[in-house]
Structure 1
Amino acid sequence: MEDWLFYSLTTMLCLLSSLLLRARARSPSHSATLTPPLPPGPVPLPVLGPLLHLARRDFDLEPVLRRLAWAYGPVYSFAPLGLARPMIFVATRGPAHRALVQRGAAFASRPRATAPAAAVLTSGGRNISSAPYGPTWRVLRRTLASGVLNPVRLRAFAPARRWVLDVLLSRIRSGGGVVAVMEPFQYAMFCLLVYMCFGGDRLGDARVRDIEALQRDLLANFLNFQVFSFLPPLTKLVFRRRWTKLVSLRRRQEELFVPLIRARREAGAGGDCYVDSLVRLAIPEDGGRGLTDGEIVSLCSEFLSAGTDTIATALQWILANLVKNPAMRDRLREEVSTAVDGELREEDLQGMPYLKAVVLEGLRRHPPGHYVLPHAAAEETTLDGYRVPAGTPVNFAVGDIGLDEEIWMAPSEFRPERFLPGGEGEDVDLTGSKEIKMMPFGAGRRVCPAMALALLHLEYFVANLVREFEWREEAGEEVDLTEKLEFTVVMRRPLKARAVPLRQGMPIAATGSG
């Protein structure tokens, strides 16, 4: 009923907007010769069709974007939500490098968090991923990078990773042979990040499950909440049940997080967890004030969400390709077994080139996100001769850049060997500082600050998974590498594989959670 009413009310508005935009497009512009043109693209026509995906979770925009790139070139404009103001899309690595690296400061900002849902969940754009380029963003990012993500601190969390690995292996062994891997992967990564975020004693399985269920509910409704980006006064009224759910989820988030935050603050916040660094932080743009509890909630939510599904998704894609290619699986297991005698230590990972190649190929072929979060220019600028208005979202096609046939041989195939000596990916730089060949973590000034953590987690868990089990296809559960967009780009048919134990079970830690 809500959807029918919304579409009925917006149809006339959309048609009227279409007529106005057509008239404007035909009107001569005296300034057209004085300023660079906008990137080419279809005239925004906010008709009913483009709005349908606001209520559909299965809408696939990527084929549309690829056709537009073919038709208009590597830098083009498009209004995918039927909005009057188009976004800008960058489809290839050349202009991506020129924007993000060579002119990094110009494109380092974010579009303003004016959408009501984003404003609620990010405390008005005060988290690392949504804050505009400036002093607040710098201090938030520096706090994360020099705190919990500092290499010394990362090593200090090695016992927590070992404990989480034990929990994961125990769950796989108790799965009866055929394992649907995504749920235990997500739970393991979430436990680890909860420990890194809130520190202290392990919180207990029940509380971690409550936090995980809440965060998953937010992610599951992420696309549904995007409806509030279009005519917020109208959509908040028509979709009032969705709005009520958003507000209630945020309230529940504060109920769960704030007691943990206050406990760290009262304890003196002298530890190494993420919250400890946040409660000591001062915001330079606001007279040096400290963060509010609500702002810390938003930052903690960002930390948990950014590192859970992305890593779990990447693990699933890597394992799926190893199951589908037994020779690769066996080669990797042989490398791990040869390099390790006894417990696999994190420092052992440095001597495993094929492991690193498998992880890099997984990130190239199946980046968890096919587009990085939109960038924006704080002031009007240009890119490859086209005008980029201030605040306009600029989107970079991560998935397609990693499939560039000018760089990669048979780019659609999963070939870890391309990252070994002599391969086309041997000298790949994930930061893109010299050249962008792939950019699963973004590039330039807003490259993912947790890149080193992500690589460590992927290498550590992949190595242990292939060492402890032989992963095989199960009859009736053959691997299907078809993609599906959720919060991340996941397998349309989630991986179920038979896990045959190879070694005597490791000591299993208590199943309480982090």
Structure 2
Amino acid sequence: MESWLLLLLSLFASTALFILFFFSNKKKTIPLPPGPPSLPLIGSRLWLRHSVSDIEHLLKVLHLKYGPIFTLRIGSRDSIFIADRSLAHKALVEHGAAFADRPLPPPAIRFVNSNQHNISSASYGPLWRLFRRNLTTEILHPAKVRLFSPGRNWVLQVLLGELRTRSEESPDRSVVAMESFQFAMFCLLVLMCFGKKLDEKTIREIETAQNRYLLYNRKLIIFSFVPRIAKYVFRGRLKTTMQLQQRQANLFVPLIIARVEHKASSQKHSEGEMFAHSYLDSLLDIKLAEEGGRGLTENEMVTLCSEFLTGGTDTTATALQWIMAELVEHQSIQAKLFEEIENVVAERGSDEEIKEEDLQRMPYLRAVIMEGLRLHPPAHFVLPHAVTQDVQFEGYLIPKNASINFMVALMGWDGRVWREPKEFRPERFMAGGDGEDVDITGSREIKMMPFGVGRRICPGLGLAMLHLEFFVANLVREFKWETVDGEKVDLTEKTKFTVVMEKPLRARITPRKKH
């Protein structure tokens, strides 16, 4: 009898302790940021009524409803969005190390980035540091960037020549400039990547392979929804992705082999063929200490070269088109910029082409570029971040397996920071303007972040600014850009790999001097 009583008392005590523990733990549970309710497998119920392609409009609605930080479940993963610049600074700068990781891709598509063996997708750790340090010291250091000055002049002449020819062949002297911008930037990045001036046919083949691969990769978002089932149901997409990746490799690997042979032969620098240094050269020297000191495989080099070409081409060409569109729309701003350019060149005492050192004496040019990036950031979101471990942030739980993103465009359009935020006004970045003291790196505070902020900030920020300033200055000095009679510049946006103009810029260009 006593034994039964003791057993019952023990069970009662255990149950009471369990209930106390359960409810006390429940009280202490930290909630996720608010957001719409979810369903198993598909995530938010909103996916029953909305397509993933409508996500930006959907996020703006959720921001208005739930505030500056909210959760949207996409398939099997919580995605947390931060729309407030102060919260973005707190996460990316004040707690930068905690928010510097990347979400793990679904297992079925990890081959896309060679199992995260590139800068943009690598987890925060030794591999990422190695790849990023290699890029910043071997290619993006100012001394290395100067080595490619002849390449920039070559590409500029290609671009100006193509625009001049297209204009002369058109009855109204009009050009659709985006394709020319895209090709020029791609030529330059191919040169920097592979160290060789390739013929136009080869460059266009590489460009086509890149674009097809990148655009098709958008279809892989389906693997975020029930990834274990998707890898069987959507096997066709995996097969197509592998075929597109192989097409890339078929074009890149011969260039890799040629560079290996070039390095081995110790040939002298030849302006016509090989340049003295390239991004690929640096990749050939990398040793992965965490993986037994091995070198990179061909597939890993293809992945890193593809990342390099993408990071420096699409975003720059997109920004260039938006800026030139605004200069077409605002003739007085274009005239003021042209006057500054001519004055700087005249002070030098010669009528030669614009030199890169001249750009440092053109504050209005920089203001035009900054205003273009604020109003039209090429990407409205940074690449998703992740935390290295569960984090409590602003009273909410940020889980380790969540995807965290920052609404770049909304921060640049914040009416609490910018006067008339939807107007193109470069003067705001001059003395006395509301953008006068903007630090584009966001280290002090975030007012705009077109290149991201913190430890994962785009390492190519300096190179991108140089390219934008160099090409905008030369395009404005060479041609007067105007609307075609009876047409208006349409600034409607469309999302491709970047956020581009839905109707590409069509402008009439008139040479400003005889050739």
TM-score normalized by the length of structure 1: 0.88
Matches within 5 A, 1:232-251: 232-251=227-246
Question: How many Å apart are 1:264 and its aligned residue?
Answer: 1.6
Quote how far apart the aligned CAs of 1:375 are.
0.5
**In the alignment, is residue 220 of structure 1 matched against residue 215 of structure 2?**
yes
> Offset at 1:221?
1.7
The DSSP-based 3-state class of the residue aligned with 1:275 is helix
Q: Which of 483, 502, 508 in structure 1 is aligned with 2:493?
A: 483
Alpha-carbon shift at residue 260 of structure 1 (Å): 1.1
Change beyond 3 A, Cα 1:248–1:256: same
Corresponding residue for 2:61? Answer: 67
Shift of 1:84: 3.9
CA shift for structure 1 position 497: 0.6
What per-residue deviation string (whole Å, max 9, x for no partner) do you get for residues 157-197 of structure 1?
00000000000001101113211111000000000000000
For 2:25 and 2:466, the matched residues in 1 are separated by 53
| 1:308 lines up with 2:313 in the alignment | yes
What is the aligned partner in structure 2 of residue 190 from structure 1? 186
Alpha-carbon distance in 2 for matches of 1:51, 1:242 = 22
Structure 2 partner of 1:161? 152
Contact between 1:38 and 1:387, CA under 8 Å: does it hold in 2?
yes
CA distance in 2, matches of 1:150, 1:40: 43
Letter in 2 for 1:445: R
Deviates further, 476-485 or 276-285: 476-485
Please tell me whether the aligned partners of residues 80 and 404 of structure 2 are also in contact (alpha carbons under 8 angstroms).
yes
Q: Which residue of 1 aligns with 2:508?
A: 498
Q: Which residue of 1 aligns with 2:102?
A: 110
Give the equivalent residue in structure 2 for 1:405.
415
Shift in Å, 1:31 = 2.6
The 1-side partners of 2:50 and 2:148 are apart by: 42
Give the Cα separation in 2 of the matches to 1:188 and 1:127: 25
Output the CA distance in 2 between the equivalents of 1:29 and 1:224: 43
Q: CA deviation at 1:266?
A: 2.7
Aligned ranges for residues 429-440 of structure 1 at < 5 Å? 429-440=439-450
Q: Which residue of 2 aligns with 1:24?
A: none
Residue pair 1:110, 1:391 contacting (<8 A) in 2 also: no
Residues in 1 aligned to 2:207 and 2:139: alpha-carbon distance in whole angstroms: 21
The match for 2:123 is: 132
Q: 1:325-378: CA deviations, max 9, x gaps?
A: 110111111111111132110000001111000000000000000000001001
- In structure 1, C-alpha distance between the alignment counterparts of 2:339 and 2:48, rounded to whole Å: 52
* Cα 1:140–1:70 shift into 2, 3 Å: same
Offset at 1:242?
A: 2.8
**Residues 1:38 and 2:43 are matched in the alignment:** no
Listed as ranges, the matches of 1:162-311 within 5 Å are 162-175=153-166, 176=170, 177-200=173-196, 202-268=197-263, 271-311=276-316
Cα separation, partners in 2 of 1:29 and 1:328, compared to 1, 3 Å: farther
Q: Distance in 1 between matches of 2:135 and 2:277?
A: 11
1:30 and 1:476 mapped to 2: Cα distance?
A: 71
Q: 1:328 aligns with which of 316, 333, 337?
A: 333
Q: Does 1:359 align with 2:356?
A: no
Q: Distance in 2 between matches of 1:337 and 1:460?
A: 14
Could you tell me how far apart the structure 2 residues matched to 1:74 and 1:425 are? 22
**Aligned-residue offset at 1:494:** 1.1
- 1:428 and 2:438 correspond: yes
Separation in structure 2 between the aligned mates of residue 53 and residue 455 of structure 1, nearest angstrom: 37
**Distance in 1 separating the partners of 2:283 and 2:59:** 39
Cα 1:29–1:65 shift into 2, 3 Å: farther
The percentage of counterpart residues that share the same residue type is 51
* Alpha carbons of structure 1 residues 209 and 52: separation in structure 2 relative to 1, 3 Å: farther
The 8 Å contact of residues 102 and 386 in structure 2, kept in 1 or not, is answered as yes
Secondary structure at the aligned position of 2:27 is classed as coil
One of 112, 115, 138 as aligned partner of 1:147: 138
Secondary structure of the structure 2 residue equivalent to 1:76: strand
Contact 1:477–1:497 (8 Å) recurs in 2: no
CA contact (8 A) 1:469 1:502 kept: yes
- 1:258-283 Cα distance to aligned partner (Å, 9 max, x none): 12112222332774200000110011
Q: Which structure's CA Rg is the greater one?
A: 2
Counterpart contact for 2:479–2:509, Cα < 8 Å? yes
Superposed displacement of residue 34, structure 1? 2.0
The Cα of 1:37 is off from its aligned counterpart by 1.5
Q: Aligned partners of 1:158, 1:92: CA distance in 2, in Å?
A: 39
For residues 260-312 of structure 1, give each alpha carbon's deviation from its aligned partner in whole angstroms, at most 9, with x where no partner exists: 11222233277420000011001122122111111110000000011111001
Q: Is the 8 A contact 1:222 1:487 kept in 2?
A: no
Aligned length in residues: 471
Give the whole-Å Cα distance in 2 for the aligned partners of 1:258 and 1:48.
45
Once residues 334 and 121 of structure 1 are traced to their aligned partners in structure 2, the CA distance between those partners, rounded to angstroms, is 48
**TM-score, normalised relative to structure 2:** 0.88
Cα separation, 1, equivalents of 2:502 and 2:229: 34
Tell me what 1:380 maps to.
390
Q: Distance in 1 between matches of 2:92 and 2:46?
A: 33
Q: Say which SS state the counterpart of residue 61 (structure 1) adopts.
A: helix
Q: CA separation in 2, counterparts of 1:315 and 1:376?
A: 31
1:450 to 440, 460, 471: 460
Quote the Cα distance in structure 1 between the aligned partners of 2:374 and 2:389.
32
The residue number in structure 2 matching 1:395 is 405
> Does structure 2 conserve the Cα–Cα contact (< 8 Å) formed by 1:313 and 1:488?
yes
Q: Is the 8 A contact 1:44 1:85 kept in 2?
A: no
- 2:217–2:241: 8 Å Cα contact kept in structure 1? no
Separation in structure 1 between the aligned mates of residue 28 and residue 473 of structure 2, nearest angstrom: 58
Contact 1:39 1:386 in 2 (8 A): yes
2: CA distance, partners of 1:53 / 1:310: 27
Deviation at 1:492, TM superposition (A): 1.1
1:236 deviation in Å?
4.0
User: Which residue identity does 2:63 align to in structure 1?
Assistant: A
**Cα shift readout 1:209-241 (whole Å, capped 9, x = no counterpart):** 110110011123232232233234543444444
Secondary structure of residue in 2 paired with 1:88 = strand
Q: What is the distance in 2 between the residues matched to 1:111 and 1:51?
A: 25
> In 1, are the aligned partners of 2:76 and 2:226 still within 8 Å (CA)?
no
8 Å CA contact 2:390, 2:398 repeated in 1: yes
Q: What is the alpha-carbon distance in structure 2 between the residues aligned to residue 356 and residue 400 of structure 1?
A: 22
CA contact (8 A) 1:349 1:459 kept: yes
Please, which of 344, 356, 360 is the counterpart of residue 354 of structure 2?
344
**How far did residue 75 of structure 1 move?**
1.1
